Structure 1
Amino acid sequence: MHSNEGLGSGMGSDADVDVLAQLVADAEGAADAARLAQIREVRVLAAAGVLAEKQAAGAAERVKAREMALRGIAAELAGVFVATDRTLQRRIDEARDLVENYPVTMAAWEDGRIVRGHVRVIQEIGCLVPAEERAEFERVAIERCEGETPNRVRDALRMIAERIHPRSFTERHEEAAAGRCVRVQPGPDGMSDLIATLPTVIADGIVDRLTRQAREIINARAQADAPGTPDTRADANGGSPDADTTIRDGSSFIDDARTIDQVRADVFSDLLLTGSPALDPTGTGDGDGTLGAIRAHVQVAVSALTLMGQDEGPADLAGRSPIDAATARELAGNATSWDRLLTHPVTGTVLECDAYRPTAAMVRLLRARDRHCRFPGCRQPAIRCELDHTIAASDGGPTHVCNLANLCKRHHDVKHHTRWHVRQLAGGRLVWTSPTGRVYREDAPPPLVAFTTGTPSDRRGDEAQPSGVFPPRSPGRADAPPGSAPPF
């Protein structure tokens, strides 16, 4: 929370900025050339697939004939692309699928409205949408992609695809949940992968709890390594240790150099095998420590109609994929507290947040408003970010939602230690300016959940047209459709 003023020469001189500006211009030219080359490659590979189909036409065993023709063509092209024929055969199939089944996406790519990363996401998620609905999915998806990085739009596009699907997300989730299982996949060197196929909200909660427990262990290890730290644990007879005894001398962390992934895996094993972590640095004597009290946290946005059982659309698990309505209702029912989000009826921007504890309302509102790090292109969930004063408090910036935003540690440092600058406008909109003067607008992302105006029984009937089921469009385009209402 410091001003950018007075930063040292490490920031770079004006001459350096001029050099950077030229590099940016060169990068733009290179990006355009690369895009055209990528498009040409896709069309060449798609044409190769069509040629294989043509060569197999009229053959007695058409399926086998097409496969042999495709193998031969792939082997020919493999020498040009310096790849295996198997790889080329897969790329030919992908290219043909893209050219033939996603014409609107190809046109937008050729016009420079989207980049290769957007195309991959649209093609990957578009396979969830029935063919007769795909053109509508493409149209909405492309509008959502413009002005955003591919990693930012993935969750929104998945939510759009789920909404367009003629069967409700809840129905499909119930079928998929019947296949939940745990299995072991043997690996080399005496290791195996333990794979659990679980509902997303359960899997995400498990990883969250393991991560926070692992960080607690690593933090305790750092304290144990600090010389002269008193050992507050009781000795075997229940008495206090000598005054000169330190945690380091009696610690279980001597020579412990495990990474967070290794600690997470060890805690996971301990929990499943013993019910609680075998190593709890916060435990004292025979008493329980704090590790066992750590519980998983997930951040979910769900519409009011879904909570009331009048809509079966998916809820939004922040930073992850959608979750089914039944799970969202269960989480809301079991939660000790939850927040009501009041959103703008047109743009969907979060305007207010009701909270039980007034002292925490500001943090909760900002998490609800921002959802992720507000630096351009970053999607680190807000619950993993730091609150930053847009105008530093030392410069008179108020501690108010109009002057605060969530930034991850990496981009918090970028803001305060480089020539990047940011202004905050009404509604939580951030305007970032790069060292070369390029401007990036970051609107506060509305929750991805919304609801339809039709009856619960309406799915995709001829008369039941969805309203308010898509997120507001990207900056610079038309507002969200009227009729959308505030999600919770």
Structure 2
Amino acid sequence: MHSNDGLGSGMGSDADVDALAQLVADAEGIADAARAAQVREFRLLAAAGQLAEAQSAGAPEKVKAREMALRGIAAELAGVFVATDRTLQRRIDEARDLVENYPVTMAAWEAGRIVRGHVRVIQEVGCLVPAESRAEFERVAIERCEGERPNRVLEALRMLAERMHPRTFTERHEEAAAARCIRVQAGADGMSDLIATLPTAIADGIVDRLTRQAREIISARAQADAAGATDARADANGGASDADTTIRDGSSFVDDGRTIDQVRADVFSDLLLAGTPALDPTASGDGDGTLGAIRARVQVAVSALTLIGQDEGPADLAGRSPIDAATARELAGNATSWERLLTHPVTGTVLECDTYRPTAGMVRLLRARDRHCRFPGCRQPAIRCELDHTIAASDGGATHVCNLANLCKRHHDVKHHTRWQVRQLSGGRLIWTSPTGRIYREDAPPPLVAFTTTDPPDTGPPPF
């Protein structure tokens, strides 16, 4: 937890806030003008594609004629947009797809209900939806997008599109999993990319475990550096022997200035080549747990119907993409503990959370309720966030779910060291106020998987 005491001028003066308010007002005008220009550009490019098709109508080799007409028009426009004709041809195809196949989205963008980022997400995800269902997908997707950041709606829209697909997610996942592979893509300067195509839950778990191991190494390195500084001061006072100095110089942390990405890559290599991370400074077990004891953590929300095999819809891997029902069932079956969520019947907001084993219930409930950092636009998973008192404990704020929310380290600091302010209402709703007075509402995100269902059909009395 943090305190706002002693922040000095870091909060900014009233004059600074006024200047920022003017910048924000100017930004709004620029954003409106940019949106209008982007819409005009897309309609122009779509018209160019339609012109190319019209020019090739009736040609004996229609496909080739259309391609040549499109190339010629793209080359003409490339001179205006200062781009290559290949780039313009790709943009023309993208514009035609949007204008002709997503008219509701185009209209919402033109009206200012959504922004270019929302349009990109809808178009990217909408290709999964059959043409006959696309209008309904657009309607629901636009409602989800309004008032929300594009990066926050991606997983919700992907889940929506997956459920609208005529084939179950499980069927398609089984086919895709059969193509899992490892490949090497040669790069420059003696480097290569090792690419693994794996089920999402496994890939995310690998990255999570590598990240936690890398952080353990960096933490141990910091402790060794602090100990070395203390010993150096003792040397200056004649308190250390030559043997002590030799031992410190032989430490595995001497001249170790690797970044977390570099440490992650090194641990990854060691685990695959040697079976255990040779760069583990706690390999002897004399630290706070060895790297080999670190296991990956993933946060999955899955409906009860999926767990008992009555629904093959996708489950939600928090902060990532959907996973198939079979993987979700396997994760739930192997989990040492899991939580049952009670959700609001209308909004889907998590209201209660219980577990079948003793646990820190409050922390688990908040992770289940928040799912990610609760600062506007952030999607850092809750398992990598910090619990923050909305009203600071030093100001009398209670340590209770109604006064706690998950914030990532970056936005935890923003809350306590800038003029951003936040209130928490019932149901976990946060109301953020920016330094210039703009209001951002942050609802507790409902789980993307369905926790309610209609009554099962009446099949008559039971057989016994």
Both proteins in one fold, TM over 0.5: yes
Aligned twin of 1:432:
432
1:226: how far off?
A: 2.3
Q: Is the 1:52–1:69 Cα contact (8 Å) retained in structure 2?
A: yes
Distance across 2 between alignment mates of 1:285 and 1:354: 34
Aligned CA distance change for structure 1 residues 286 and 390 (closer, same or farther; 3 Å): closer
Distance across 1 between alignment mates of 2:455 and 2:10: 61
Return 355-364 or 146-155, whichever deviates more.
355-364
Aligned twin of 1:462:
none
After the TM superposition, which residues 58-73 of structure 1 pair with which residues of structure 2 at under 5 Å, given as runs? 58-73=58-73
Q: Is the 1:129–1:164 Cα contact (8 Å) retained in structure 2?
A: yes
Return 423-432 or 254-263, whichever deviates more.
254-263
1:98: how far off?
A: 0.3
Q: Show CA shifts across 1:24-71 (max 9, x none).
A: 111111100000000000000000000110111111111111111111
After the TM superposition, which residues 40-189 of structure 1 pair with which residues of structure 2 at under 5 Å, given as runs? 40-189=40-189
Aligned CA distance change for structure 1 residues 303 and 243 (closer, same or farther; 3 Å): farther
Distance across 1 between alignment mates of 2:424 and 2:288: 46
Partner secondary structure for residue 129 of structure 2: coil
Aligned twin of 2:193:
193
1:441 matches 2:456: no
Q: Show CA shifts across 1:358-383 (max 9, x none).
A: 56111111100000110111111111
1:8 matches 2:8: yes
Distance across 2 between alignment mates of 1:230 and 1:244: 12
1:195: how far off?
A: 1.1
1:224: how far off?
A: 2.1
Aligned twin of 1:362:
362
Distance across 2 between alignment mates of 1:166 and 1:389: 45
Q: Show CA shifts across 1:251-288 (max 9, x none).
A: 11211222111111111111111111112101239999
Aligned CA distance change for structure 1 residues 247 and 449 (closer, same or farther; 3 Å): farther
Letter in 2 for 1:105: T
Aligned CA distance change for structure 1 residues 406 and 287 (closer, same or farther; 3 Å): closer
Distance across 2 between alignment mates of 1:366 and 1:287: 30
1:334 matches 2:361: no
Partner secondary structure for residue 360 of structure 2: helix
Distance across 1 between alignment mates of 2:151 and 2:24: 22
Identity between Structure 1 and Structure 2 (%): 89
Return 339-348 or 87-96, whichever deviates more.
339-348
Aligned CA distance change for structure 1 residues 219 and 2 (closer, same or farther; 3 Å): closer
After the TM superposition, which residues 11-22 of structure 1 pair with which residues of structure 2 at under 5 Å, given as runs? 11-22=11-22
Aligned CA distance change for structure 1 residues 273 and 26 (closer, same or farther; 3 Å): same
1:296 matches 2:309: no
Q: Is the 1:128–1:161 Cα contact (8 Å) retained in structure 2?
A: yes
Aligned twin of 1:422:
422
After the TM superposition, which residues 401-480 of structure 1 pair with which residues of structure 2 at under 5 Å, given as runs? 401-450=401-450, 453=453
Letter in 1 for 2:161: A
Q: Show CA shifts across 1:110-161 (max 9, x none).
A: 1110000000000000011111111111011000000100000000000000
Distance across 1 between alignment mates of 2:226 and 2:248: 7
1:10: how far off?
A: 2.8
Distance across 2 between alignment mates of 1:81 and 1:38: 13
1:451: how far off?
A: 5.5
Q: Is the 1:230–1:244 Cα contact (8 Å) retained in structure 2?
A: no
Letter in 1 for 2:17: V
Distance across 2 between alignment mates of 1:260 and 1:10: 29
Letter in 2 for 1:171: E
Aligned CA distance change for structure 1 residues 414 and 149 (closer, same or farther; 3 Å): same
1:452: how far off?
A: 7.0
Distance across 1 between alignment mates of 2:282 and 2:25: 55
Letter in 1 for 2:149: T
TM value normalised by structure 2 = 0.92
Q: Is the 2:302–2:328 Cα contact (8 Å) retained in structure 1?
A: yes
Bigger helix fraction? 2
Aligned CA distance change for structure 1 residues 30 and 247 (closer, same or farther; 3 Å): farther
Distance across 1 between alignment mates of 2:448 and 2:245: 55
Q: Is the 1:18–1:436 Cα contact (8 Å) retained in structure 2?
A: yes
Letter in 2 for 1:312: E
Q: Show CA shifts across 1:269-328 (max 9, x none).
A: 111111111121012399996111111110000001100111111000000000000100
Q: Is the 1:429–1:442 Cα contact (8 Å) retained in structure 2?
A: yes
Aligned twin of 1:472:
none
Distance across 2 between alignment mates of 1:337 and 1:191: 42
1:182: how far off?
A: 1.1
Aligned twin of 2:208:
208
After the TM superposition, which residues 220-299 of structure 1 pair with which residues of structure 2 at under 5 Å, given as runs? 220-228=220-228, 244=244, 248-284=248-284, 290-299=290-299
Higher relative contact order (CA 8 A, sep 6+): 1
Distance across 1 between alignment mates of 2:83 and 2:283: 56
Q: Show CA shifts across 1:430-466 (max 9, x none).
A: 001111111111010011100674799x9xxxxxxxx
Q: Is the 2:303–2:449 Cα contact (8 Å) retained in structure 1?
A: yes
1:356: how far off?
A: 5.2
1:227: how far off?
A: 4.2
Aligned CA distance change for structure 1 residues 285 and 150 (closer, same or farther; 3 Å): closer
Distance across 1 between alignment mates of 2:242 and 2:192: 45
Aligned twin of 1:36:
36
Q: Show CA shifts across 1:67-112 (max 9, x none).
A: 1111111111111111111100000000010000000000100111
Question: Where does structure 1 lack aligned partners over 5 or more consecutive residues?
Answer: 232-240, 459-488
Q: Is the 1:224–1:248 Cα contact (8 Å) retained in structure 2?
A: no
Aligned CA distance change for structure 1 residues 15 and 229 (closer, same or farther; 3 Å): closer
Return 323-332 or 281-290, whichever deviates more.
281-290
Q: Is the 1:311–1:452 Cα contact (8 Å) retained in structure 2?
A: no
Distance across 1 between alignment mates of 2:271 and 2:311: 37
Distance across 2 between alignment mates of 1:125 and 1:316: 16
Q: Is the 2:108–2:114 Cα contact (8 Å) retained in structure 1?
A: yes
Q: Is the 2:343–2:352 Cα contact (8 Å) retained in structure 1?
A: yes
TM value normalised by structure 1 = 0.88
